[in-house]
Every structure is written in structure tokens, then in C-alpha cells.
Structure 1
Amino acid sequence: MVDKIKIDVVSDVVCPWCIIGYRNLEQAIAELGLQDRVEIEWQPFELNPDMPAEGENLSAHSARKYGSTPESSAQFRLDMAARGAEVDFKFDYFKEMKIVNTRDCHVLLEYAKEFNLQTELKLRLFAAFFTEHKDVSDRAVLAKEAEAVGLNVEAAMAKLEDDSCLKEIQETEAQWHQMGVSSVPTVVVNRKSAIAGAHPVEGFKQLLQSAI
């Protein structure tokens, strides 16, 4: 019998499926009564590592990257809003919404891990981006979100100026790519088994049960 179950969640904070997948994983953990046996660590993945500082309008980005039409994009937003409601998360898409660079987010998430605040910060960043119309590439925004979860703002912001922290994130991302992670969310249990995608609760329960 395994005492602790280590779960790595590889994701990006601008990925809508990542918060939906996490909510389902969270419910699976609760339904199996594993809350005290699970250790979750968020791992970095940049959906758009080359995204410039100014970001890109979401509709234009969807059309360029995925070939979305205005109609399919509008339908996707409606579908995500409905799916979000099912897991108690609000997606509030808006016309001027932009996809932004998330590298600083991942640096801060790595720092938050030192204080056991990684999940709190991750959820805060999901809400900031998808619900509250905030630019999570803006360091002033990040400073406020870091403060909101109880991190030392000055120390947190210093991490964003430290090239070694940035290099560490890029190296970690590269390692996950080398292990075969090519889409998010990817949930890895005890570094032995994994599933990619925002699976329903039952799918995550099966994954967890294989570990216990």
C-alpha cells in the first residue's frame, strides 16, 4: 500500500481545460477519500512560449493557431462557460481578451511551492485570467496575486528578475517534453502512469485507484 500518492499536474494558466481537469481530479480525490494521501505539484507548460510581451487577441490567436472561425470560436466560449459552471468555475470571455506569455506565472508557481502555496496561486491565476479580465503577464498583476495568497511580494518579484529561475523553468519544461508530454493538462501519478486531457471524474478515479 502506498502511503503518499504524488500527482504532477502539467498545465498552463491560460488553458481552460486545465482548470476543468483539475476540478474533476479534485472531486475524484475527494470521492476516494484520498485528501490526506495526495501530494499535488504543478509542473510548467507554456502553450505559447514565443508569445510576445503584448500578447495576441484571443480570437485572432484561435484563428491563426487552430483555424477557428468567428462562429466556432463563439460556440467554444459558450461551451466552456457551460463546462465551467459544471465544476463551479466561471469563464468570462470578452471581446478584447488576449492570450499572453505565461513564463513569469510559472516562475512564481515554482517559488510558491517552497511555502506550500502552489495550488492556491495556481487557482488564483486561473481566476485572474479567465474570470477577472486580468493580464497575467503584467508583473503588477502578478504582484497582487502573489500577495493575495500570502507570498512575500518583494521576494516573489525578485524571482522574476533572476535568470537562474527562468532557466530552471525552461529546463523543467524541456524535461516534461522529453518524457512525452505534448498537451495539457497531463496528470502523472507517482511518475509511473499518466493521462492527458480534462477527463471526467471517473477517469481520474481509475487512474488513482491504479496507484492504491
Structure 2
Amino acid sequence: MTNEALETEIERVQLEVWSDVACPWCYVGRRNLAVALQDLDPRERPDVTWRAYQLDPAIPIEGVERDAYFTQRFGDDVKRIEEGQERLTLLGEELGIEFRFDRQHTIANTFRAHRISKAAARHGVQQEVIDALFAAYFEEGIDIGDPDRLREVTLRAVTDPELAAQVLWDAERDETITDEVREDIALSQQLGITGVPAFVADRALLVPGAVPPDALAKFLGEAALRRANLDDLADQHGDGDDDHAHGHMHDHGDGHFHGGH
């Protein structure tokens, strides 16, 4: 991007990604985002925060048997499930994801996994842990709702044993982590987010769904330009007018957004 507003150092875009570890499209969205970030001008790369979302919070904490869950949710429409999984498998191959739905036996309640993710964010290893959780669930069929298996995944993702121990201690014993997960879920409701993944830039721009990397890169470029222009306005008018910095949310995708800031 050649806009003069980006020629000076600006505060980075704050990108929040609402995601659920049990959502295959969120795994696709994670990989698409990684590709998009590689292609961006370094000045346009955002600070990324992953936020918790639960597609089905009613799942028991111990999880449910996969076939029973699908039967309850979709009835006898097995073909619909198989077609969706085939589509995801083909798409995953293009992104280096080996979806192995045949290895999944348990549909997990992801609240504990979100606690791990939040604790990892405190220690600067959230991206590594999220990648490991996605791979464990969708490629290895690991039950990411099981505390023992979660510990195993965390220890693989965080290679420094002392750091891994700190992440696990926070996730398992610090109740403020639980509060943070619940706050993320509540915030998604306030913002009108009804599906994931959802990419939110500066609480002002939204792209819903696992959009391709080029669309994400364009979205992030627009967000960076918007922030640069707002920084210019702040320089001209002072820092007292917060309305310039926090407009209403705009949907840049095919979904719908029903909230403001």
C-alpha cells in the first residue's frame, strides 16, 4: 500500500478473532490468517488476540459420543455431515491440514481448552497453543475436553517446561482465567457475533467466516489505512474526541453484524 498515511510509524491494528477449537472452519480461518499475515506489509500486520466462543456450550463438560451427538443434532441426515467433512478435507489439503474426522470419537466441551488458550496468552504462547489444540482435535482425534489430554497437548506446544507449567497452573487454578473466557463469550454476544470464525479489527470492522487469505489481507490493509487516518485526525484535533477513534462496526463479509461499539 502506497498511501502516505502509512509512511509514518502508526499504532498497530488490534485484531480480535473469535473462534472455537471444536470448529473446523476456525482451523481453516487460522491457517488463512497465517497466510494473509505473511503477505502483508510489515506496517500493516496487526496485533492478534484470540477470543473464546463456544458453538455449543450445552455439551456436558466431559463431552459426548460423536455419533450420538450428530444423531441428536442432525437426525438421519448423515449425508449432510459427510458432504461437509469431505469439503473440509479437500480444503484442508490445500492449507496443510489433515482433517481426520474418522479419528474423532468425542465431541468436546471446549471451555477447558479456552482456559488453556487464555493462560497461554498471558505468557506469550497463545498462537502455538491454539495451533496445537486444533491439530490435536482435528488431525489426531484427541479429546481436548479431557484435562489429562489437554496437559499433554500443552506440553507439546510449549517446549519450555517451566513456561508450560506456568500456563497449566494458571489455566487450572486461576479463576480469573475463567472470568476472561466468560467475558469473551459475553462480548461476542454484545457485538452481535453469531458464528465463528469472526475477525474484528479495532472494534470497528468485521469479517465473518473463514474467508480466503487475499480477502483477509485486503481487510487488514483497509483496517491499517483506517487507523492511520484516525491517527492523523487525532494529531489535528487532539486526543479528546474519542468518537473519531471508535466508529460503528461495519460488516465486510457475507454475514450480518448487529451491534456497535
Same fold (TM over 0.5): yes
Please give the per-residue CA displacement for 1:85-113, whole angstroms capped at 9, x wherever unaligned: 11111100116522111111111111111
Residue 196 of structure 2 corresponds to residue 187 of structure 1: no
Structure 2: distance between partners of 1:201 and 1:72: 27
**Match in the other structure for 1:43:** 51
C-alpha spacing 1:30/1:95, structure 2 compared with 1 (3 Å): closer
1:208 aligns with 2:220: yes
Aligned partner letter, 2:223: A
| Aligned-partner residue type, residue 164 of structure 1 | T
Q: Which structure is higher in helix share?
A: 2
Contact 2:123/2:167, CA 8 A, preserved across alignment: no
What's the counterpart of residue 20 of structure 2?
A: 12
Q: Does 1:127 align with 2:139?
A: no
Whether the aligned pair in 2 keeps the contact of 1:84 and 1:90 (CA below 8 Å) is yes
For residues 119-140 of structure 1, give each alpha carbon's deviation from its aligned partner in whole angstroms, at most 9, with x where no partner exists: 1000000000000111101111
Q: Which has the larger radius of gyration?
A: 2
Q: Tell me, yes or no, if structure 1 residue 98 matches structure 2 residue 106.
A: yes
2:173 pairs with 1:165: no
Q: What SS does the corresponding residue of 2:42 show, helix, strand or coil?
A: coil
Partner AA of 2:165 in structure 1: V
Q: What is the CA-CA distance between 1:158 and the residue it aligns to?
A: 5.0
**Range with greater deviation from structure 2 (156-165 or 115-124):** 156-165
For 1:103-122, what aligned pairs fall within 5 Å after superposition? 103-122=111-130
Gaps of 5+ in 1: none
What per-residue deviation string (whole Å, max 9, x for no partner) do you get for residues 9-37 of structure 1? Answer: 10010100001112112212212233883
Q: Distance in 1 between matches of 2:155 and 2:43?
A: 26
**Structure 1 range deviating more: 21-30 or 113-122:** 21-30
Q: 2: distance between equivalents of 1:174 and 1:197?
A: 19
Report what 1:76 is aligned to.
84
How many percent identity over aligned positions?
Answer: 27
CA contact (8 A) 1:6 1:38 kept: yes
CA 1:144/1:5 → structure 2, altered by over 3 Å: closer, same or farther?
A: same
Aligned length: 212
1:66 Cα deviation (Å)?
A: 4.6
Q: Using the alignment, how far apart are the partners of 2:76 and 2:220 within structure 1?
A: 35
Q: Is this contact kept in 1: 2:13–2:44, CA < 8 A?
A: no
